[in-house]
Amino acid sequence: MICSRAPAKVILFGEHFVVKGKPAIATAVDLYAETCIEESEDYIVESKQLGLKFSIFGTSIPPSLLQFRKAAELVMNLAGSTRGFHAVVDSEIPVAAGMGSSASTIVSFIHALLSFYGFKPELSLVNKMAFEAEKIVHGKPSGIDNTVATYGGTLYYKKGQIERLDVKWPRSLSIVVVDTGVKRSTKSIVREVLDLYEAHPSIMSKLYDVAEELVNEARRRLVEGDFTSLGQLININQGLLSAIGVSSREIEEIVYRLRSLGAIGSKLSGAGRGGVVYGVFTDLNKDLLKKVFRNYTVYLVKPINEGVHHRIL
């Protein structure tokens, strides 16, 4: 049996703006999606998290598994093989919440499947195939989700180009991720933002330019380790996301609760309208955090450097 794991991501800055070619910064964090593959007569994908088990070339495959069919076609065409498999996909990353669950899952699947067919899973190939598969679910993905899941680390991403940032995350710094519990479709929110851009191009293009300047400033502050300024930039970024219409009452409530608990900055992460909100703390009172967010799922995550990799059994 071959198993591969890929990390979740938190977009620290620049989501949505990145779809139109502006830069974004994201970090891989220590929550994982994993795929284990063994030989079979058929082509089965079993998702533990979604509670689904399907023959992916069958006619009744649910839309949430279509990207697996695409990915399997890409890998099998490359291999020139029809060897059957049974892939079990499991994940601790919340679904449709902004932490890249779908990208991490597909990246782990492709990495494991390439190995199953006898390839050394080169990261650039995994990333390219995952991007093709992501298009099935997301329509117009920027590619940031699959890139972070593939390469890991804290990345500055612009138009498919990546720069690995050398960030010395202080041990005292905590990244708290709160799930609003509201599931939403990245594809339709991205579409609505692009429609808003079309409706008000001169106003929106200025907001996009500000977002670019903000992300570039954040890159400098991250590398210098100036986390106080970074917090201010996180809050400004939240304001920009609200301006383009992807915040919500639930998100704002969590953003302000995190700030009142002492977060140096807090914003939504991912597509918005629900999903997750993150806060950065230099001094976290965990008991108070638990109490304030007792009705939510909260993750205390750590940035990690490693992207997709085999899990040695």
Residue 87 or 248: the one with the smaller Cβ distance to ligand MEV is 248
What distance in Å separates the CA atoms of residue 224 and residue 183, rounded to the nearest whole number? Answer: 36
Please pick, from the candidates 5, 10, 13, 16, the single residue that binds ligand MEV as defined by CB under 6 A: 16
Kindly indicate which of the ranges 54-62, 135-143, 198-206, 255-263 contains the residues binding ligand MEV, using the contact rule CB under 6 A: 135-143
**3-state SS assignment for residue 179:** strand
90 has catalytic annotation: no
Kindly indicate which of the ranges 15-23, 176-184, 234-242, 292-300 contains the residues binding ligand MEV, using the contact rule CB under 6 A: 15-23
Q: Does 270 bind ligand MEV (CB under 6 A)?
A: yes
Residue 61 or 95: the one with the smaller Cβ distance to ligand MEV is 95
Q: Which residue is nearest to ligand MEV (CB)?
A: 142
Please pick, from the candidates 13, 127, 130, 145, the single residue that binds ligand MEV as defined by CB under 6 A: 145
Q: Does 267 bind ligand MEV (CB under 6 A)?
A: no
Of 174-233, binders to ligand MEV (CB under 6 A) are 186, 190
What distance in Å separates the CA atoms of residue 215 and residue 209, rounded to the nearest whole number? Answer: 10
Which entry of 90, 145, 179, 209 is annotated as an active-site residue? 145
Minimum Å gap between C-beta 127 and ligand MEV is 14
Classify burial at 228, counting beta carbons within 10 Å of its beta carbon; exposed 0-12, middle 13-18, buried 19 or more: exposed
25 and 218 in contact (C-beta within 8 Å)?
Answer: yes
What distance in Å separates the CA atoms of residue 22 and residue 238, rounded to the nearest whole number? Answer: 16
What distance in Å separates the CA atoms of residue 122 and residue 308, rounded to the nearest whole number? Answer: 10
Active site amino acids: 145
Residues that bind ligand MEV (CB under 6 A): 11, 15-16, 18-19, 98, 100, 138, 141-142, 144-145, 186, 190, 270-271
